[in-house]
A and B are shown apart, each in its own frame.
Chain A
Amino acid sequence: GAVVSQHPSRVICKSGTSVKIECRSLDFQATTMFWYRQFPKQSLMLMATSNEGSKATYEQGVEKDKFLINHASLTLSTLTVTSAHPEDSSFYICSAPWVNTEAFFGQGTRLTVV
């Protein structure tokens, strides 16, 4: 079946630095990918929709200058958390939809900002 690979699975960074998270569709092309954020014991909250060849669409309340999204190819989307702060610590998950069926999810990235 279709697989989405997300990397890294865990990252610790210092406040003020930037972190890049990659999301790859391994055996299919994804013109759209979704980025979610999940706080402990809570649901997945959609942050933005990544579109290949065009600008990402951000949900209300998500700072587009802090969470930079680039969809460089039909198999790769990246989320860069810029000037990270401790409040950005969270679990980030990407997913790629499969036409007329379910979405496929990456393994997630646990970001800790110290």
Chain B
Amino acid sequence: AQTVTQSQPEMSVQEAETVTLSCTYDTSESDYYLFWYKQPPSRQMILVIRQEAYKQQNATENRFSVNFQKAAKSFSLKISDSQLGDAAMYFCAYRQNNAGNMLTFGGGTRLMVKP
């Protein structure tokens, strides 16, 4: 079974600074997707960024970028120029392709942004 591990229960960053959230996963598959989801206090799950395993290039979405290390099974999220609105729970998630589309989530990291 696939597992996703987020080793940082909480992280703190100063506004306008950069922070990196860690995620590792375990799988024997080669075709999969990785995601970072944000869950603000409203608890609505919001997709932050997506990475296809077959792509070597790291995904980027504005201030959000990932460092995808397939061999190391690592998928960290970097948030640049942190904003107060970035404060939320962040979940790393894995989905095996063509296997029911089920997501496996990590335990989450609570990000606090200091003004």
Q: Which residues of A contact B (CB under 8 A)?
A: 32, 34, 38, 41-44, 46, 49, 91, 93, 95, 97, 99-103, 105, 107-108
Contact B44 A42 (CB under 8 A): no
A interface footprint on B78-115 (CB within 8 Å = 1, 0 otherwise): 00000000000001000101001111111110100000
Name the B residues within 8 Å of A42 (CB-CB): 107-108
- Given A107-B44, A108-B43, A108-B44, are A49 and B91 neighbors across the interface (CB < 8 Å)? no
Q: List residues of chain B with CB under 8 Å of any chain A CB.
A: 33, 35, 42-45, 47, 50, 91, 95, 97, 100-108, 110
Please measure, in the bound complex, the distance between the C-alpha atom of A41 and the C-alpha atom of B110, giving whole angstroms.
9
Main SS at interface, chain A:
strand
Q: How far is the CB of B3 from chain A (nearest CB, A)?
A: 12
List, in ascending order, chain B residues with CB within 8 A of A99's CB. 101
Complex contacts, A105 vs chain B, CB 8 Å:
44-45
B106's contact among A38, A43, A101, A108, by CB below 8 Å, is which? A43
A103, B37: Cα distance in complex, Å: 10
Complex contacts, B43 vs chain A, CB 8 Å: 38, 91, 93, 107-108
Q: Of B50, B103, B108, which one neighbours A95 at CB under 8 angstroms? A: B103
For the complex of A and B, the 4 pairs showing the least CB-CB separation, nearest first, are A97-B101, A105-B45, A102-B47, A43-B105
Min distance, Cβ A110 to any Cβ of chain B, angstroms? 8
Would B103 and A103 count as touching, CB distance under 8 A? yes
